[in-house]
Amino acid sequence: YSTSPHKISQALTSLVLLFSLDSPPEENAAQNTADPLTVLTAGSVRRALLNSSAAWVVQFYSSSCGHCIAFAPTWRALAGDVKDWESAIRVGVLDCGEEENYETCKEYGIHYYPTFRLDFFFAFGEKAAGLIKD
Contacts of residues 30-35 at CB distance under 8 Å and 24 or more positions apart, as own/partner, are: 31/80, 32/80, 32/83, 35/76
Active site residues per annotation: 65, 68
Residue 134's alpha-carbon distances to 2, 5, 38, 97, in angstroms, are 19, 11, 24, 24
CB 29 within 8 A of CB 75: no
26-95-124-85 Cα dihedral, nearest 10 degrees: 0
The rounded distance, in Å, linking the Cα atoms of 48 and 27 is 29
